[in-house]
Structure formats: C-alpha cells, structure tokens
Amino acid sequence: MQSRFRSDRRLTTRMGVTLFLLGLLYVGFVAALIVVLKSWVLVVVVAAGLLGAQYWFSDRVALFAMRGRVVERDEYPELHSVIDRLCAMADMPKPVVAVSAMDMPNAFATGRNPDHAVVCVTTGLLRRLDPAELEGVLAHELSHVAHKDVAVITVASFLGVIAGLIVRFAFYSQLFSEGRRDQNTAAIFAVVMGVSAAVYAISFLLIRALSRYRELAADRAAALLTGRPSALASALTKVSGDIARIPTKDLRTAQAFNAFYFTPALGSEPGVARLFSTHPSLEQRLDQLGRISAELGEAAAPGGV
C-alpha cells in the first residue's frame, strides 16, 4: 500500500544503488571466504542464517539494546493519539509503539516493512518536547517506515556487522593461539582478516552516504505531511543541544544504533566522528526545513495546517 508521504525518487534510486553495490560486495565476500576456508557449506549456511536473523529480528534486537518496551494506549494515550493521527494522515498501517526509559532524548524506527514496524521514543524525548515538536519527530520516523529505507539500512548494515565480527574473531584467534598454528593457518587468518577489514570499510562508507541522505528525505517528508517544518526544526535544535550535554559515557551504548536515530548520539565534541556521522549536520537539516517553511508560506500561517 502506497502511503501519502511524499515519494522521493532520489532516495529510492540511492537505496537501489546501495543494495546493488552491497550485494556485489556480499557475493564477493562470501566467495572469498569459501576459497580461503574451503568450506562453502559452512560459509553459506552461517551467512544466510545471520542475514535472516538480522532481517527478521532487527526490531527485537534494537528494542532490547535500547531497553525499549511495547506500550499500550492506556499507558501513553497522548503518544498513541499522535501516531494514530499521523498514520491516518499518511494512510499507512500503525506500527507497534514502544518507549525506552532513557534520559537521552531520541526516537527510532525499525522493522522489515510497514506491516511489521516499531516506532520507539525515549522518556527523555517525551519529557522535553511539546506536542507539535513530538508530532514532527514521529512523522520523521514514520516516513522512514513508509519509504522502506529503515529495512534497507537494516539489511545493508548486516554485511558490515559480519565483517567486523570476523575481523575481531580472526584477531583474537591469532592473539590467543600464537605459536600453536602453522604458517599456512596463519596466512589464511591474515587473508580473512584483510578481506573482512576491506569489506567493512567499503560497506561503512556506502551506508553512511545513504544514511545521511535518508535523514534529509525523512525531514522533508515529515515537514510536508504535517505542514509545520518549524516545529520539526525546533525539535531538532532542542534534541541536538540536549544530547550534546549528556555525558559521553552514557552515549556509548546508544552509538551502535546511530543510523536508526532521529539525531545521532554524539557528545559535545565529536571531532573526527562528525566526518563519518550517519546524519547530515544540524545546519544542513535546519537550512532545508527553512526552505520548506518558505515554500509553504508557514510564516504567514504560524499555526500550520
């Protein structure tokens, strides 16, 4: 079913290109492991099993990692009401609603398709935003579900995760087994580690490029659906500023899921990390929302639509 969120052909094209390139990379990666490890059955079965688990259980993994829990209407009636209204406006299925008991103000969407999606907000976000700002953030997250880019990011991130795990496994295997392996085995591990590191680096860059664009697309779709880009801009400014004041040690667990968040869990001095961020800069996002506000003539009608 097609939702009323504004379609974005450039986003669709970027998702297709990213999946195609990652697919080629994935096939090459599996082929290299088969040649090196000389066991295609093991490699294919393990890779397919992990990919399936990533696709089918990504929502549960994300909720568990972020201490989120599904909430019913009687617990959070206002949150459910906003999501109900937005889903009716967008003509899309209502996702499962969850809340994470974290002070970090943020939200994320996950799931394999619009019929099996979860939108989760933190208690820190609910406490800080007014109703119009919350509506803008939730519209942003619902647009990820409607555009299906959340599923693409979930699948795309799989290859980097597996490559990273293999690098760690090879490293620690060599570290704790040094002196007990022959030269051939050591060479095999070196090749596997090198291939995995290269695959991780390439997938990392491809995912970052897609992720930054999809956030701009979600901001744009949310602003056009609600008709209040200034409310979304206010939420962005407020959330980004508050996250910057949260101690870095409290953000470390959350940073593994930055690609899914409304705003990245970065400290006050992200440094080089900003160059590899999953999100465009706050300035870019606010500039885009400012242009949309001017196009909609929001200044002439402060209440929006």
Spatial CA neighbour of 262 closest among 132, 133, 148 = 133
Q: What is the mean pLDDT of residues 88-113?
A: 91
Q: Rounded to the nearest 5°, which phi and psi values hold at 118?
A: -130, 135
Confidence of residue 300 (pLDDT cuts 50, 70, 90): very low
Q: What is the 3-state secondary structure (H, E, C) of 214-276?
A: HHHHHHHHHHHHHCCHHHHHHHHHHHHHHHHCCCHHHHHHHHCCHHHECCCCCCCCCHHHHHH
Residue 54 CA to residue 74 CA, distance in Å, equals 32
- Contact status, residue 209 vs residue 277, Cβ threshold 8 Å: no
Identify the pLDDT of residue 228.
Answer: 94
Is residue 138 predicted with pLDDT exceeding 80? yes
- Say if CB 102 and CB 123 are below 8 A apart: yes
Give the residue among 212, 295, 293, 286 at the shortest CA–CA distance from 11. 212
More confident residue, 267 or 257: 257
The CA-based angle 118-113-90, given to 5 degrees, is 75
CA 148/CA 12 separation, integer angstroms:
9
Q: How far apart are CA 180 and CA 255, in angstroms?
A: 37
Give me the mean pLDDT over the 38-64 stretch: 72
- Tens of pLDDT along 3-25? 677 778 889 898 888 888 877 87
Whether the full predicted model's pTM is greater than 0.75, yes or no, is: yes
| 112 sits in which H/E element | strand 107-113
CB atoms within 10 A of CB 223: 29
Which residues carry a binding-site annotation for Zn(2+)? 140, 144, 215
Active site members:
141
Q: Which helix (H) or strand (E) holds 116?
A: strand 116-122
305 pLDDT more than 60: no
* Residue among 289, 1, 259, 7 at smallest CA distance from 147: 7
Please write the tens of the pLDDT for every residue from 177-235.
555 455 666 676 677 677 777 777 887 888 888 889 999 999 999 999 999 999 999 99
What pLDDT is stored for residue 5 in this prediction?
79
**Is residue 126 predicted with pLDDT exceeding 80?**
yes
